[in-house]
Homo-oligomer: A and B are copies of this chain.
Amino acid sequence: MNTPPDRRPPTLATVAAEAGVSRQTVSNALNSPHLLRTETLDRVRAAIEMLGYSPNRAARNLRTRSTHLVGLRIEASDDLANPLMDRFLHSLVERCKAVGYHVLLFSSPPEDEPAMLEEYDDLLRSAAVDAFVITDTYRGNPQAAWLSDRGVPFVAFGRPWAEPTATHPWVDVDGRAGVELAVDHLVERGHQRIAWIGWQKNSYLGEDRRSGWVDRMHEHGLSTSRLSARGEDSADFGNRAAHALLDAEAPTAFVCVSDTVAMGVLAALADRGLHPARDVAVVGFDDSRAAGLVTPGLTSVRQPLERVAAEVIDLLHARLAHLPTGETSRLLAPTLTVRGST
């Protein structure tokens, strides 16, 4: 034996030799243990344990034509969905682990659709991933149609707003219901003049949330007339809109389409020497970190991102494992995190 010590990790064959069985038997011990006599199974398992063996993924991937990897494109940091991403991502990874998958991240230049699809295509053609999770359906969704066309398994976080006829599986949060919670909460506290500050009319997400305000106000017999404003997603816009509404209509509460906007509203109250909650109530949307850090605390609608991630992966897993799938889309209800601002 003058060969140098073997630095290579053990393989199926190593284990088979150690346990005194064939490779196939070891493979069965791992993948179909019920086929083995318990005594044999124990012996194989002992050998695996002793050698610290794990099946080589590359070999398995090659043979089974599946990698157990799920691709996820992450976007540039200035994207509006981003503050939510870390919570979502963590849950996604966690859930993947539970069903035996891992998450592979990739990126593509922002605002460059062909380049983006090229990235998806590369990963697909090189068989680097089994499936995708897509997260940016709020503003058109070329990938969804593109992936559907090719029969690639994927699940979307977000409804196919722009293409209601799309049939791919998706999971989304019911923004409208979240805003309804906020309105109910404010009505309970005695508010009647409740204003809405939202995004531009071309935002599906923004209009969905707004409809929760409109409908619920009417159900409570309250007027929405002249009590709303629309603009971009910035604290500055929230500030200006709040001042304008306070001057014109003297609302006693604001429901905002996002925490970003709500932070601007809080600033407007401070400008006027008004006290959040005591004088004017404010509710945000997203339950961002800033909502918890700001002075009296900002009441905010919280998206159940942990559940979204779990549902996304469960749908994907069902598809990949050819399990029977019931509904292929799920709309989850958010909750309200109450803080000092109401």
Could you tell me which A residues sit within 8 Å of B by CB distance?
9, 52-59, 61-62, 65, 67, 69, 74-77, 82-83, 85-87, 89-90, 93-94, 97, 102-107, 122, 125-128, 235, 259-260, 263, 266-267, 270, 288-290, 292-295
Contact = CB atoms under 8 A, between A and B. Distances in A.
28 contacts: A9-B125, A52-B125, A53-B125, A54-B126, A56-B126, A56-B127, A57-B126, A57-B128, A58-B62, A58-B65, A58-B127, A59-B62, A61-B61, A62-B62, A74-B90, A76-B90, A77-B87, A85-B86, A94-B107, A102-B104, A104-B104, A105-B105, A263-B293, A270-B295, A288-B289, A289-B290, A290-B290, A290-B294
Q: Count chain B CB atoms within 10 A of each CB in A54, A126, A259, A295 and give the residue with the most.
A: A295
Contacts of A74: 89-90, 93
A127 B61 CA distance: 12
A76 B306 CA distance: 12
A85 B65 CA distance: 33
Q: Shortest 3 CB-CB distances between A and B: which pairs? A: A58-B61, A290-B290, A54-B125
A105 B107 contact: no
Copies in the complex: 2
Contact of A295 (B55, B127, B267): B267
Contacts of A235: 292-293
A105 B106 contact: no
Nearest to A306: B77
A86 B77 contact: yes
A219 to B, nearest CB: 32
Nearest to A87: B77
Among the interface residues A58, A74, A104, A260, which one has the most CB atoms of the partner chain B within 10 A?
A58
A26 to B, nearest CB: 15
A76 B94 CA distance: 10
A122 B270 CA distance: 54
Contacts of A102: 104-106, 128
B62 A56 contact: yes
Contact of A107 (B65, B93, B126, B290): B93
Contacts of A266: 295
A9 B86 CA distance: 35
B104 A90 contact: no
Nearest to A305: B77
A310 to B, nearest CB: 14
Which among A76, A77, A263, A266 has the highest number of chain B CB atoms within 10 Å? A77
Contacts of A125: 9, 52-54
A292 B260 CA distance: 10
Contacts of A289: 83, 288-290
